[in-house]
Amino acid sequence: MARVVVLGAGFAGLWAAIGAARKRDEIGAAGSDIEILVIDRNPYHNIRVRNYEVDLSKVALPLSQLLDPVGVGHRLGDVEAIDVERGNVTIAANGARDAVAYDRLVLALGSEVLRPDIPGLAEHAFDVDNYAAAIRLEKHLTTLGRSALAPGRTTVVVVGAGFTGIEVAAEMPDRFARAGIAGGRIILVDPNPVVGATIGEHAHPIIDEALAALDVETRLGVRVEAIDAAGIRLSSGEVIPTRTVIWCAGMRASPLAVTLPVERDRLGRILVDPFMRVADLAHVFAAGDVASSVVDGRHPTVMSCQFARPMGRFAGHNVIADLTGRPLLPLRIDWYVTVLDLGSWGALYTEGWDREVRTTGAAAKATKQIINHQRIYPPLTGKKEDLLAVAAPTVQAPPPRK
């Protein structure tokens, strides 16, 4: 019995596992002795890009519902080490450690929010990096809504005016309303001179217009010096009383990527070829936020589900093909779009690597909702044929513009 181990059940890991099951099913009897095993610390697949939203009721999908129908096993545990020489991974669960051997490995452990060594950050800041963190923030806001008036109770400071930070800030008026917080104040902090510095100059006026309409204040060109239970201190000397600091300032690949003897980019991502193979590591593939692949001959992938999902599908297909001596398929993606949620104001839809603005407001919001609530979801029918059908090694067409 040969074993394929997939580390992580995010967008890349889930689709690598189902994609591998699809290829195993396709080759029939020759694949009957291949075990596919997913290892993740959680028993669910998190629709991570929705963690900023008001309603979190459908963003954690049970792995059993998605993997059992296609014959993929799953184990709970934290991945502590990868031994590429011996071909095994060490996982920890319930106070015990276990070494799990593999014949092929797909590394899909994703990314995590970057947490610099700022006094009070670890103890007092919130984030939306994962489902548990998003639920913690939701409970905190609900508690504030029921508590007595106090300095900083109705002020939220969002640190990081990139994609996630903007979406968190823009959604906050609706989150205030849900939590019963009246007169809420939202402040967006970033060291750059503009909001959305990496989103492109075409987008800046639209983002500024939307944030102004939502009464989101900004503090630009400043850094955070300290956070405590009562507030946040900026490099400008300003101290803002607040009970809620939400940290959205930067992402890095899983720290386990650093432990492998391979080349990495500035985000800590492992470089992979068009087949999702890790250079100089036999039998190891990588996909999603932990990996970087040039997908159009020029541009490397971006940390987003737009790339993680197809990277996972191709990694899953190719890992089984590699294991059984069949041809591998290269991944090529020749389009790139971004759809930035701007809360009740609408959204912003851009196309191309220079991020030309195509639609804004309600029209772009309709596209965003299609993406967040339909397009990135796996089938929830529990049927093997439905899951395998959408795991084919293909690239979806761009989302529709309304």
pLDDT tens per residue, range 337-377: 999 999 999 999 999 999 999 999 999 999 999 999 999 99
- The pTM for the full model equals 0.96
Q: List all residues 6 or more positions away from 276 whose beta carbon is below 8 Å from its beta carbon.
A: 106, 285, 286, 287, 291, 293, 311, 314, 315, 318, 319, 331
pLDDT tens per residue, range 162-200: 999 999 999 999 999 999 999 999 999 999 999 999 898
Query: What 3-state DSSP class applies to 228?
Result: strand
**Residue closest to 306 by CA, chosen among 45, 9, 12, 8:** 12
Q: What is the residue-wise DSSP string for 98-153?
A: EEEE-SEEEE---EEE-----TTHHHHEE--SSHHHHHHHHHHHHHHHHSPP-TTT
Helix (H) or strand (E) holding 231: strand 231-234
Instruction: Provide the token pair at 22.
Output: 């699809």
Decide if pLDDT at 402 tops 80: no
Average pLDDT over residues 15-42: 96
Instruction: Provide the token pair at 99.
Output: 């070494």
Decide if pLDDT at 400 tops 90: no
Task: Round to whole Å and give the CA distance between 152 and 149.
Answer: 9
How buried is residue 151: exposed, middle or buried, by Cβ count under 10 Å (0-12/13-18/19+)?
Answer: exposed
Query: What 3-state DSSP class applies to 225?
Result: strand
C-beta of residue 99 within 8 angstroms of C-beta of residue 112:
no
Decide if pLDDT at 45 tops 90: yes
How buried is residue 170: exposed, middle or buried, by Cβ count under 10 Å (0-12/13-18/19+)?
Answer: buried
pLDDT tens per residue, range 217-267: 999 999 999 999 999 999 999 999 999 999 999 999 999 999 999 999 999
pLDDT tens per residue, range 60-81: 999 999 999 999 999 999 999 9
Residue 186 half-sphere exposure toward CB, CA atoms < 13 A: 25
Sketch out the chain's domains with CATH numbers: 2-112+251-336 (3.50.50.60), 115-247 (3.50.50.60)
Instruction: Provide the token pair at 43.
Output: 């028993």
Q: How far is CA 159 from CA 56, 129, 188, 219, 344, in A?
A: 22, 13, 6, 9, 21
